[in-house]
Structure 1
């Protein structure tokens, strides 16, 4: 479809959806106001630990890293992003732009752990904007160390030296792709693709076209007898591929694989959206987990909206994205707190409106950024 007609279709569908949706923000101005309220609430309520479980709650933990990535993406939609950029700069400087490596009795495998690399997405994004070497140094040093110290690559779920769980495909691969873009060194992409393929061949179910969280779920079943496919886990993968595609050169020999996987996973996920626009904690047994789940919905909506904006998906996905955005808006309370976010875990769990988490907010900001681009 030619670009002008594509834009016209988007505009018409969004105007119609605005009439049907009532108070759901659909104009750029309304979306900006809502999302700023979300971002400001999270900044005001942001905390992190300096001791204890730093892997999940430290300043550079994967949980917080997803928030930083979402916040940085959101600044792209703002004419005056200084408030958010100042906050992000403060975070980076406070952590001295370091990759996690300061845990008590830090085990060697943590140096390979994909989660610990997630904050590198934030650092490299800030490097793109400010060009300060300190924002680049620790990321490149860690990736070079990993690549020159062969890891245990046995794809067992408890082995964190390799990408043995599907969440890892969001956390680490975009860091390698981004560093390859910055340095023009193809070895980072070669390494990324090799290890992505290992995870893909191990965890991707060719029958259901979904990713198992890890190999401990191969034989597990939901109450209805379906295999266990975690909503957020598959959201991590779709969003991770979008972030890889954003960084891959158009002529990359790897690009066709990621485009094919992205469209295949997107096609399957669109079938699993509920009538309200949500994806649930369990993708194939939503009846056992009927509550909304924001983190999976935000990650999937982000991925699908990215696909529309970059012409990887056709306009038939517009109603899916529209419903996903409407669902996300419903999770925000009057103060800007995003609820219905499943806590840290590895499988479907019960969720309530009061539950929030920084990674869910980061995913919300990522989705809002793509929605803004879609309608502008």
Structure 2
């Protein structure tokens, strides 16, 4: 009888352990691990020429969506210890600055200034000064305007308030600005950059976050666009990773982040996805926002900002849901095309759904990186 009882207890404990393994962020079904998926997406990027938002024409400069994939691939290479991949990504940049310099963007807009995050990441990984100089220049110019530039009155007002002259109060900015400035602090250990990003973030929180925790695309566009909110979620996660715990703006930013995460839990569907318009039941499941939200949740769980029991299952569900849209070529489908702001619900519902677009590839790499972090 005693042996049967011991056996029963052992089996029960084993079942509990197995059940926990099926719900955590470390154990994955075959073919779905962050190591496997991250490698496939990164290799797909290595093989892909510079792209122009899916258009057949070559790009005039490196697009922000390519920057986001490049950054994700670099961080994935670091966390996975893949030196070969890191070398390939470095080579891609070296070729760019030596042979394709015409594609290097001018830091005159948030979508172009974010390019500096790539050389700053390369500097952190290699300590080569050439990358440091390039990246720091981008971060600095986001606040320091060239003398030749005549700013509109509203932009001059932003500068007087200590904000970037590239401020436009589009939700997308809160990834573009916070990433480059956070990267500059990580590379320099100078908190002036993270102070800038934090101050900017608080202004955007006050301007765009609604009572339900979600964000309008812009003050005059009252729709909860999925990827727009994804930019904010991912930007908050990147910022909070580097923002000092005693920073005067941290509590406000953390409050906005947690408020958003709590609402996102309510809108994650039974499959693990979020929609193109988050709160619109007639909208379609969209992969780039799902990836961005999943990254923000994983980062929150790993850093202890979010309740593990509540959010870890949502993160796991989001990751596995994304992979049902991932094909044998290393591309993810159902990615909303690049989107400007417009006060028109149907405009968002009718956006093209792309496959392999870098807006969707990037969050897969961010998630894979986040899952590998301790």
| TM-score normalized with structure 2 length | 0.79
Question: Where do 1:19-98 residues align within 5 Å?
Answer: 25-26=28-29, 30-48=33-51, 57-58=59-60, 60-79=62-81, 81-96=82-97
What is the Cα deviation at residue 192 of structure 1?
Answer: 2.3
Does residue 294 in structure 1 map to residue 287 in structure 2? yes
Q: 13, 17, 22: which is aligned to 1:16?
A: 22
Deviation at 1:53, TM superposition (A): 11
For the Cα contact (< 8 Å) 1:57–1:64, is it kept in 2?
A: no
- Report the Cα distance in structure 1 between the residues aligned to 2:80 and 2:227, rounded to whole angstroms: 28
Q: Mind listing any 5+ residue stretches in structure 1 that lack a counterpart?
A: 1-9, 19-23, 219-227
Distance in 1 between residues matched to 2:61 and 2:107, nearest whole Å = 17
Tell me, in whole angstroms, the C-alpha distance in 2 between the residues paired with 1:85 and 1:59: 23
Cα distance in 1 between the residues matched to 2:94 and 2:122: 11
With over 3 angstroms needed to count, the CA separation of the structure-2 counterparts of 1:232 and 1:154, relative to structure 1, is: farther
Which of the pair has more CA radius of gyration?
A: 2
For the residue of structure 1 that corresponds to 2:141, the secondary structure is helix
- Structure 2 match to 1:123: 119
Instruction: Give 1:115 deviation, angstroms.
Output: 1.3
Match of 1:367 in 2: 367
Q: Deviations over 1:26-61 (max 9, x none)?
A: 479844223322322333234336xx999x945532
- Closer/same/farther in 2, CA of residues 293 and 190 from structure 1, 3 Å limit: same
In 2: Cα distance, 1:307 partner to 1:327 partner: 19
8 Å CA contact retained: 2:336, 2:354: no
Alignment partner of 2:140 out of 144, 148, 151: 144
Quick one: structure 1 residues 203 and 131, their matched pair in 2 at CA, closer, same or farther if it must change by over 3 Å? same
Query: Do the aligned residues in 1 keep the contact of 2:295 with 2:363 (CA within 8 Å)?
Result: yes
- Distance in 1 separating the partners of 2:262 and 2:128: 40
Tell me: CA distance 1:29–1:284, structure 2 relative to 1, closer, same or farther (3 Å). closer
Q: Structure 1 pair 76/183, CA: closer, same or farther in 2 (3 Å)?
A: closer
Gaps of 5+ in 2: 1-15, 159-163, 342-347
- Give the secondary structure class of the aligned counterpart of 1:210: coil
* Alignment equivalent of 2:198, drawn from 193, 218, 227: 193
Q: Which residue of 2 aligns with 1:134?
A: 130
The range that moved more, 274-283 or 30-39, is 30-39
Are 2:118 and 2:135, in contact at CA under 8 Å, matched by a contact in 1? no
* CA–CA separation in structure 1 for the residues paired with 2:225 and 2:274: 10
Corresponding residue for residue 169 of structure 1: 174
Q: Give the Cα separation in 2 of the matches to 1:160 and 1:343.
A: 27
Say if 1:102 and 1:269 are closer, same or farther in 2 by CA, change over 3 A.
Answer: same
Contact 2:113–2:142, Cα closer than 8 Å, also in 1: no
TM-aligned CA distance change 1:254 to 1:78, over 3 Å: same
Which of 224, 228, 241 aligns to 1:229? It is: 224
Aligned length: 336
Further displaced range: 113-122 or 349-358: 349-358
Q: How large is the RMSD of aligned CA atoms in angstroms?
A: 3.3
Q: Which secondary structure does the structure 1 equivalent of 2:267 belong to?
A: coil
1:351 Cα deviation (Å)?
Answer: 6.6
- Residue 276 of structure 2 contacts residue 286 of structure 2 at CA under 8 Å; is this kept in 1? yes
Is the alpha carbon distance of 1:147 and 1:327 closer, same or farther for their aligned partners in structure 2, counting shifts above 3 Å? same
Partner of residue 241, structure 2: 246
Aligned to 1:217: 221
For 2:94 and 2:249, locate their aligned partners in 1 and report how far apart those are by CA, in whole Å.
35
- Aligned in 2, Cα 1:202/1:28: closer, same or farther, shift over 3 Å? same
Distance 1:369 1:137 in 2: 26
Query: What's the CA shift for 1:74?
Result: 1.2
Instruction: Give the equivalent residue in structure 1 for 2:8.
Output: none
Deviations 1:112-144 (A, max 9, x none): 411112222222111111111211213322333
